Amino acid sequence: MNKFKFQGELFKNNDINYSMNRSNNELVISSEVIEKWQNRIISHQENIFKNGRQELSQFSLFENHSKELINKLNPFCLKPIALSFWRGPNSPHKGPAIYFVMDKLINTGKSIILYIGETLSAEKRWKGTHDCKAYLANYSEALQKAGLASQLNIRFCIDVPEHTKERRRLEQKLIQTWLPPFNKETRVNWSTPFTSEIS
């Protein structure tokens, strides 16, 4: 007998308005719940700018790169490109990078950082399997069913350390600061419903 772990269980105090279609075990999350979840993330990420990103500037990451790099790394100023960029003949970015998967919320015009990652090859990273792709598919489907519009995109910062160890330390500090909901380190902060899988 299969045991199902429904995505709704991830919300604190079972504070979720959802319905389950028993014929196909389909979870439907209401637009109110999704917008409340998005607004909590927006509130946190906007506060980073209000506080001058002090946490970023106080962290010494690596010897060869100054704190100025950390402070000037504003993901919202990076050029957004389509998630399907890797299908084109020429990738706009090559080599080591930190990348930010973001969503521009059409109803508010604001953007949220959903995932932060690092790669040695920006032009190849999104081609293979990636957990974030599944989360984004679940997220997009939930938004569509709730009648919410969004504009998913990815942004690359290529002004990063070439050495993987240093780049990963930078990635971890950025994750700890921005708390993107699809990174495994931060899912518990947001009770993210889109990362749960039925097994």
**Residue 20 confidence class, pLDDT cut points 50, 70, 90:** very low
Which DSSP state fits 101?
Answer: E
pTM strictly above 0.85: no
| Residue pLDDT, tens place only, 117-161 | 999 987 777 777 778 888 898 999 999 999 998 899 999 998 888
DSSP string computed for 25-93 = TEEEE-HHHHHHHHHHHHHHHHHHHHTTTHHHHT---BTTB-HHHHHH--GGGSPPB-TTGGGSSS-S-
Q: Which residue has the tokens 């290529």?
A: 158
Pair 108, 131: CB distance under 8 Å: no
Domain extents in the chain: 7-195
Pair 104, 111: CB distance under 8 Å: yes
Q: Which pLDDT value is given to residue 35?
A: 92
Q: Decide: helix, strand or coil at residue 155.
A: strand
Rounded CA-CA distance 52/98 in Å is 21
Query: Mean pLDDT over residues 180-189, rounded?
Result: 90
